[in-house]
Chains A and B, each alone.
Chain A
Amino acid sequence: MKPKWLVTLATWILEHLTYGTHKEALVGDLLEELRRGRSTRWYWRQVLSAIGVELSRRPRDYTLTLIFSAAWSTLYPFWWHLIGRNHLPQTLPQRWAALDWPYSGTLALLCGVTPAVTFIWLGLFVYLMSRLGVARELTGSQVLRSLSVSLNVLLVANVAVLKFFANAAIDIRFVPREEFYATFHLNSISVSLVLSLFFAIACALPPVRGRRFDSFAR
């Protein structure tokens, strides 16, 4: 008996991390082989291999995206000073903290995450504007999906950062809000911001391949 959820999960990952012309056929072939007796382990190996092949095929595209994401993340301190000082008065979090739970926690979280999220979304739009030729073909749902991916990646990365600091010498409670994203960094590049922006761009602008439907007529 093959655990169905493992197959569903692998298929979902494959469909969301590959962009090739033959993505549908690839997934179909793997499912066909699975139904004909291949193991779930074989299926997962094939899925991971396909993702690896996909990522290695477009190194230039991803390198450019990664460089832009890293460079953009270094601007975050300026953004914090711009938005944090002007639009998020320092007394506001203290006022929210006085509210009952869960409002206090939720609002404090929103206050901490909002500057980072808006910064990433701004970065995404700057990148899209710089590649207007490709970005013009984007649909509203693709942009929404991309924004959603950036948010999810940021939240997961934040949880990872908090977990990392749980065993570190730094007490996260005493890290100022404006320095949170700069604390877990490599030469002033915030890892969580870079990951979030990178995945948002990669999700919005998959490689240009994949637009042919039928070339038999050639």
Chain B
Amino acid sequence: MGEHNYLSEFELMILLIVINLGDDAYGVPLTRQLAIERGRDVSVGSVYATLDRLEEKGLIASRLGEATAERGGRAKRYFRVTEQGLRTVQQTRTVLNKLWKSLPSAGEELA
């Protein structure tokens, strides 16, 4: 069996949002989008903890952006998904699709 980076639901959502945001993928839009998708407020700290973990796994990369007065002089950090990250997302989708297929439709008896 090959080596896989298994993704949690939260990690997968973050990776997908980073892909969707493209060049504008930094903390604020990322957290806002995540809050919209999940339907509740999200802890920015837990988002960064997950981003940190994904970066350690080599699934995303980051670079420092511009600092603005609005941010108290702190630089933004932009994220993008790496080749390995994209591969992992696709693998996860394949596994999940396979599992979804075995889901019985409503009213059908469980095996």
Q: Interface on A for B, CB 8 Å cutoff?
A: 11, 18, 20-22, 24-33, 35, 46, 49-54, 57, 209, 212-218
- Which stretch (B42-50, B89-97, B100-108) binds chain A? B42-50
Contact A29 B72 (CB under 8 A): no
Partner of A27 from the list B26, B49, B52, B74 (CB cut-off 8 Å) is B74
Q: Interface SS of chain B: helix, strand, loop or mixed?
A: mixed
Shortest CB distance B27–A (Å): 4
- Which residues 42-82 in B have Cβ within 8 Å of A in the complex? 43-46, 48-49, 51-52, 55-56, 58, 61-64, 67-68, 70-72, 74-78, 80, 82
Contact A31 B48 (CB under 8 A): no
Q: Interface on B for A, CB 8 Å cutoff?
A: 26-28, 31, 43-46, 48-49, 51-52, 55-56, 58, 61-64, 67-68, 70-72, 74-78, 80, 82
- Please, could you name 28 A-B residue pairs with CB atoms under 8 Å apart, sorted by A? A20-B49, A20-B52, A21-B52, A22-B51, A24-B74, A25-B26, A25-B77, A26-B48, A27-B74, A28-B27, A28-B67, A29-B26, A29-B71, A29-B76, A31-B70, A31-B72, A32-B70, A35-B70, A52-B45, A53-B46, A53-B49, A213-B64, A214-B63, A214-B64, A215-B61, A215-B63, A216-B63, A217-B61
